[in-house]
Amino acid sequence: MEHAVVPGMTREERLNQWVALYSDAILRTCFLYLSDQAQAEDALQDTWIKAWRYMGEYERKHILNEKAWLMRIAINICKDYRRTAWFRHMDRRRTLEELPAHLMQTNAEDPTLSITVMGLPDKYKQVILLYYYHGLTQRETAQALGISQSAVIRRLKNAQAMLKQSLTGGGEA
Amino acid sequence: MKADPMKILFRQTINRELASLYTSSLQQEQMYLNAIGGRKVKRKLTAGLVLVLVLMLLTLTAVAVELMTGKQVVEQVAVPMAQDNQQENYTYEQMTDLLRTLNENGITLDENSTLMQAFRSGRGYWERDAINEICLTVFGQKEGWTIDQKHWYGEMMVEIGAWNLNIWVIPEEGDMTREEALAFAAKAVKETYGEDVPLQTNADWTIHEVFNLVWQQETNSYPPKKAEWFFSYLSNHPGKEGYDVVFSRDGSIIDVHQTPPQESASTIQPVPLYPKEAAAIEQHGKVMYFWPYSVQLDVYGYPHAVPNKTDYALALAYAEQAIADHWGPDALHSLGDYQVGLVFRSYTDPQNSGVSEWDFLFTTDPVFISDGYRIQFKGIQDEQAGGGTLFVDLCVEHANLGNG
């Protein structure tokens, strides 16, 4: 759901509301991006610190879609984490069996979707998470990632094909 | 704007798979405070430091923080939440709040329980069963509860509307106290089996106790006034017999008998519950209503049982009639291609009456129980009706646990 700046709401109240509304979704997004729960929790905390720091920008630019704005911050933080030397030297590829059991206890029809998303290249993972998981439009996804809408459409198409191939065991894309 | 079904499916699947990744309200508050203070607590700690912090936290918790007990969580959170509900189910959001409260107070439910499986699937859960699960976690198996714990549990069931009457009573003025009743039971055993039965030594025995109202066939009064004590002495020593004693609240002995050693506490082998349960879930799905009765019995033991065909037909007809009476004659038909699941228990109560417990589930969605009806009742052998079965304690509810 989208929320414009609510008149009369203080910055503290707004941040408090965002933390309650979006923490779980951002945490799961960061986890899918980083494949590491501890890193994802740090990234979530950093997201709220940055959101607070740039609250003035949010108000000045009259940003209508707070979720897209927050996701842009979260994705950028995840990107920063991936750039660190420590992260580069860790093998982020996980199999279902390697992940903490409590994270992957699932009764879903398709228990490997999270793992498959984790295995996508970053640029495809980003669009899939924003468009499908967070429900942003193609335009909002483009704004959140700072790329053109046509690039989003291209990436989505490629990402969908890769997902389909992975999930159906190499069937036609 | 019309929601994209692919997006919904994707989001639900990811949320189900990562259901255990969430932030508690306490964590959210801490993150908010850190954010407006511009601080971040780094979490890269050495194992030694973690140990020190845990010990400090434990000490501080014991000294400074008043954690809620399981009883308080039930009384102050679970029951008021249930009372606010129109239906008999907690929604997924309510379950989230309830589980967070439990976790924040150091109470962790069994990860393999049906409740946790439902929660991880993004579903709500029946209120009575959720409270039952909490109580089993806090107090252990029901047989071992004291009469005070049983009475309190019954009060909670009445509070949420799951029971009409709390049959688990506590002694009133004029009744024997629990200690007097226990001494009376020991005396009855000695008078029957000899003075040398060492019932005074508590370490030798595990004692199960019940003080409950019983239905008065002769007067059919409601609520019943008649109550009976039941004590079961289970020997803690291998090969030793146990004893069951039943007597009325006025001290009339109803039954005293010896129980074979295999029923005694020390010789009861711990049931390898979770491996068996996990195997059953693997083979038959997570909803035990649709497991074969023999599997339910194998996993959970007595009093689960296999109903005979005649009783089943009678009970099924009774359940279908209850649905029609409650939701209209077309209610079942309008479900479409539904399946019928049943959890069945059968036992002999302290008055030696045969009791059967029927818990039917009618649903088209045996995986997530997103629709349908749940019908529960008891069958009691009715001597006045020539040994026929009298169905009582009917409880009907929607089986939809919320779509999360």
What pLDDT does residue A51 have?
92
DSSP A62-106: T-S-HHHHHHHHHHHHHHHHHHSHHHHTS-----GGGS-GGGS--
For B115-159, the pLDDT digits (tens) are: 887 777 677 788 888 999 899 888 888 878 899 999 999 999 888
What pLDDT does residue B120 have?
73
Structural contact between residues B115 and B129, judged by C-beta atoms closer than 8 angstroms: yes
- DSSP 8-class letter at B265: G
Task: Categorize the per-residue pLDDT at B44 as very low, low, confident or very high, splitting at 50, 70 and 90.
Answer: very low
Average pLDDT over residues B27-42: 72
B350: number of Cβ within 10 Å: 18
Could you tell me which residues come within 8 angstroms of residue B206 by beta carbon, excluding any fewer than 6 positions away? Answer: B144, B233, B234, B236, B265
Q: Does B117 touch chain A (CB under 8 A)?
A: yes
For A116-163, the pLDDT digits (tens) are: 888 888 888 889 989 988 888 888 888 888 888 899 999 999 888 888
Residue A76 has pLDDT above 70, yes or no: yes
**Virtual torsion, Cα B162, B164, B170, B172, nearest 10 deg:** 160
B341 DSSP β-pair partners: B361
Mean pLDDT of the residues in chain B:
78
- For B28, the closest of A20, A40, A131 (CB atoms) is A20
Q: How far is A114 from chain B (nearest CA, A)?
A: 6
Residue A97 has pLDDT above 70, yes or no: no
Distance CA A31, CA A35 (A): 5
Q: How far is A42 from chain B (nearest CA, A)?
A: 7
Residue B234, H or E segment: strand B227-235
Segment 231-250 of chain B within 8 Å of chain A by CB: none
Task: Categorize the per-residue pLDDT at B274 as very low, low, confident or very high, splitting at 50, 70 and 90.
Answer: very low
What pLDDT does residue A95 have?
45
Residue for token digits 């704007």? B1
Q: Which of B371, B380, B376 is nearest to B360 (CA)?
A: B376
For B91-120, the pLDDT digits (tens) are: 888 888 898 888 877 788 887 777 887 777
What pLDDT does residue B351 have?
63
Q: Does B2 touch chain A (CB under 8 A)?
A: no
Q: Does B111 touch chain A (CB under 8 A)?
A: yes
For A51-65, B32-46, B376-390, which range has the lowest pLDDT when averaged over its residues? B32-46
Chain A residues close to B367, C-beta within 8 Å: 107
Task: Give me the count of residues in chain A.
Answer: 173
Chain A residues close to B44, C-beta within 8 Å: 38
Residues from A in contact with B at Cβ < 8 Å: 12, 15-16, 19-20, 23-24, 27-28, 31-32, 37-38, 40-42, 44-46, 48-49, 51-53, 102-111, 113-114, 117, 131-133, 135
Of residues A132 and B218, more confidence is placed in A132
Residue for token digits 């083979």? B283
DSSP A140-161: HHHHHHTS-HHHHHHHHHHHHH
Nearest chain A residue to B37 by CA distance is A49
Residue A2 has pLDDT above 60, yes or no: no
What pLDDT does residue B58 have?
52
Three-state DSSP state, B371? coil
Chain A residues close to B17, C-beta within 8 Å: 104, 106, 108, 111, 113-114
Residue B289 has pLDDT above 50, yes or no: yes
Distance CA B267, CA B19 (A): 40
**Virtual torsion, Cα B160, B162, B165, B167, nearest 10 deg:** -110
Residue B54 has pLDDT above 70, yes or no: no
Distance CA A53, CA B262 (A): 69
Q: Which of B397, B393, B398, B396 is nearest to B166 (CA)?
A: B393
Q: How far is A116 from chain B (nearest CA, A)?
A: 11
Of all residues in chain B, the percent with pLDDT exceeding 70 is: 79
Note if the bond before A121 is cis, omega within 30 degrees: no
What pLDDT does residue B25 have?
79
Residue B59 has pLDDT above 90, yes or no: no
Chain A residues close to B21, C-beta within 8 Å: 24, 27-28, 31, 37, 40, 103
Is B111 in Cβ contact with A133 (below 8 Å)? no
Of residues B97 and A89, more confidence is placed in B97
Chain B residues close to A31, C-beta within 8 Å: 18, 21
**Virtual torsion, Cα B192, B193, B195, B198, nearest 10 deg:** -120
Q: Which of A107, A110, A112, A128 has the highest number of chain B CBs within 10 A, making it the mutation to test binding with B?
A: A107
Distance CA B57, CA B63 (A): 10
What pLDDT does residue B63 have?
41
For A29-74, the pLDDT digits (tens) are: 998 888 778 888 889 999 999 999 888 888 887 777 788 889 889 9
Residue B266 has pLDDT above 60, yes or no: no
Is A113 in Cβ contact with B10 (below 8 Å)? yes
Could you tell me which residues come within 8 angstroms of residue B369 by beta carbon, excluding any fewer than 6 positions away? Answer: B123, B287, B361, B363, B399, B400, B401
Alpha carbon distances (Å) from B267 to B33, B234, B239, B256, B348: 55, 9, 7, 21, 22
Residue B345 has pLDDT above 60, yes or no: yes
- DSSP 8-class letter at A131: I
Is B13 in Cβ contact with A109 (below 8 Å)? yes
Residue B347 has pLDDT above 60, yes or no: yes
Residue A165 has pLDDT above 70, yes or no: yes
Q: How far is A148 from chain B (nearest CA, A)?
A: 21
